[in-house]
Chain A
């Protein structure tokens, strides 16, 4: 259920953040309580509370006294920005490390990225670079990623 890698409360926070990013928890929505989290994931309520508090500290969630915990307006954009910041560290660095081990040069990596991107079912030509547009032979249906389906 949980990986051993990160502390449990961080994983709880990450899951909650993920739900905010993909819209499962829309901005302004009430967040389940730490007890609900604890019962659902079979974890210690204090751990769940710690995870939730992490997001409060980051300004993603806010507590309204006597009412509960809610997603702060603008939280999704904030989380997305943070994730974009981490994108290189989290994904590009390991990819390049592996590429070096395999003896792939940068051009080969980029080519692979483009090729993979085109093969994805929800390929979005607008996002693709100017060169790759012409290579597009098939016309994949552009699937708009609505938050609900994304989850």
Chain B
């Protein structure tokens, strides 16, 4: 398959400064907040480019969680580029599987996938399926797409660490609209009941689901109180503020005997003016003119 060239400045992870050292962040030159902002911007460019080339996909909820995955993959997670299945790795579970382009973009920036491969999103025989498929893509932990299931999967993964006396941690990224699903609350109850403290849920709280604003479609408030009532340690942050996110992940490490949820207040479509807070761009592909504008804004 010939790979269309991505309209992107990035060619290899080495560009971001930490280079191959990303494979073991603990020993790497720690990327600065500035480095991570640059990475975040590149992820946004990848997302726009990939989805426009694919001709379908979900830009809004990919763009809203860019800082969350940047913080995780470039600072928080323990992982090894050379060994995506390393048993001691921290797990990142993408429950909102429609944000697949975001996960592929960050995996490419880390070096798990060639950046050029991003252009194959959703194409026949691509490893980059429309929604994540763990059987297809290195670094993808869970097959997702039907919402509400990732937290349960994350609990199972976290329990294995307990059973094996391993110290890896599990991070599950959920959408806020996804929390309409009853299974999320079954899982929330179970994680607290089993006292799983190596589990962090992050809710990309962008306020919008496919049909419109959450508050109009299915009100989730009082959202933080719900999680508290289910027995979770709750942290609320600006989900686009890398420092706040990193602090929250650090705080979560010290929480014992209960799971932690980070409610990350975000803007759907963040970074592209006409996509921000616009429910239309949940699953809509930008026109070529819109792509041009978006990439200029993200230059």
Please indicate whether A and B come from the same complex rather than being unrelated chains: no
